[in-house]
Amino acid sequence: MMWLSPSESEALTLSLSVATRSVVVSLPLAILFAWILTRRQFPGRTLLDAVVHLPLVLPPVAVGYALLLLFGTRGLIGAWLERAFGVELIFNRNGAALATAVMSFPLMVRAIRISLENIDRGLEDAARTLGAGAFDRFATVTLPLMLPGVLAGAITAFSAALGEFGAVITFVSNIPGETRTLPLALYSALQVPNGESAAARLAILSVVLGLGGLLVAEWFARRVRRMLGR
C-alpha cells in the first residue's frame, strides 16, 4: 500500500489479522452461547447471561487485567496452556485476538440471539416430521435462518475488534509489529511531540475502515433479506 507509511501499513495489517482471528474463534462459541441462552432452561441461566454480558459494562482495562491474571504465564489457565500445548498468549497477537474476542463477544451473542428468537419454531417442527434429527435440523433450518444475525454479529464484532484499545493494551501491551493495532498506534502517535499529523492520518484510516465495514454489512444484509424473501 504505497500511500501508507511502513508503520501505518503494519498497524493496519495487524489490526485486520487480530480482528479476523478474534471473530473466527469466537463466532462458533457465540452461536453456541446464543443457542443455549435462547433455547435451554436450566438453573443459573440468568447468571450465565450476566457473565456473557459483563465485558459490556466493565471498564476494558479491568477486563484486560482479569485476562492477565487468568491467562498470564502464572495465571490459572495461562500456565496450563503453556504446560499442555506450549501456547503463550501474553504479549503477542493471539493474546490481542483473545482480548478483542472477549470484549466483542456480548455484541456477537446479542445479534445472534435476536435472530434466533425470531425464528418460527414451527419450521423446526416441520423439519422433524420430515425426518430431520436434532443436528440435521440445526444445520439445515435453524442456522440458515439465523444467518442474518450471525453475519450482523460477526461484522459488528469485527469492527469492534478493530477499535478495541483498553483490554488489548492492558493484557498484551503495546509492541510494534506484534500488538500495536490501529488504536494503539494512534495513541502512541499522540504521545510523541509533533505526532498530530500521524495521528490524524491513522484516525482517517480508522474512519475509512469503519465506513467500509458498515457498507459491506448493509450489502450482506440486503442480499440475505432478499434470499429469505423479506
Partner 1 sequence: MLQVAVSKQLDSLNLDVRFELPTPGVVALFGPSGCGKSTTVNIIAGLAQADSGRVMLDDGVLLDTQRHINLAAERRRIGYVFQDARLFPHLKVAANLKYGEKRAAGRRYVSFDTVVTLLDLQSLLQRRTHQLSGGERQRVAIGRALLSQPRLLLLDEPLASLDRGRSEEVLPYLETLRDQLAIPMVYVSHQFDEVLRLATHIVLMQSGTVAAQGSIGEISLDRRLRSLIGADAVGAIIDGVVQGDDAVSGMTRVRVGSGELKVPAAGLTPGTALRVQLLARDIIVSTQHPEHLSVRNNLQGIVTAIVDDEAHSDLVSIDIGGTQIMARVTKAATRELKLAPGLPAWALIKSVSLRPISAVYPNG
Q: Which residues bind partner 1 (CB under 8 A)?
A: 120, 122-123, 125-133, 136, 140-141, 144-145, 147, 227-230
Tell me whether residue 117 or residue 120 sits nearer to partner 1 (CB atom). Answer: 120
Closest C-alpha to 105, from 31, 198, 15:
31
Q: Which residues contact 214 (CB under 8 A, 6 or more apart)?
A: 159
Minimum CB separation from partner 1 for residue 132, in Å?
6
Amino acid of residue 154: A
Tell me whether residue 58 or residue 127 sits nearer to partner 1 (CB atom). Answer: 127
User: Grid coordinates in use for 154?
Assistant: 460477526
Other Cβ atoms closer than 10 A to 87: 13
Tell me whether residue 83 or residue 121 sits nearer to partner 1 (CB atom). Answer: 121
In degrees, rounded to 5, the angle at the alpha carbon of residue 43 between the alpha carbons of residues 28 and 41 is 60
**3-state DSSP assignment of residue 73:** coil
Minimum CB separation from partner 1 for residue 131, in Å?
3
CA dist., res. 13 & res. 183, Å (int)? 13
Closest C-alpha to 98, from 54, 64, 74:
64
CA dist., res. 54 & res. 103, Å (int)? 9
Minimum CB separation from partner 1 for residue 127, in Å?
7
Minimum CB separation from partner 1 for residue 226, in Å?
9
User: Grid coordinates in use for 114?
Assistant: 435476536
Tell me whether residue 129 or residue 197 sits nearer to partner 1 (CB atom). Answer: 129
Minimum CB separation from partner 1 for residue 101, in Å?
28
Tell me whether residue 54 or residue 132 sits nearer to partner 1 (CB atom). Answer: 132
Q: Which residues contact 141 (CB under 8 A, 6 or more apart)?
A: 123, 124, 127, 132
Tell me whether residue 31 or residue 182 sits nearer to partner 1 (CB atom). Answer: 31
Determine contact, residues 186/174, Cβ cutoff 8 Å.
Answer: no
Minimum CB separation from partner 1 for residue 26, in Å?
25
Tell me whether residue 4 or residue 143 sits nearer to partner 1 (CB atom). Answer: 143
Minimum CB separation from partner 1 for residue 221, in Å?
15
Closest C-alpha to 163, from 211, 114, 198:
211
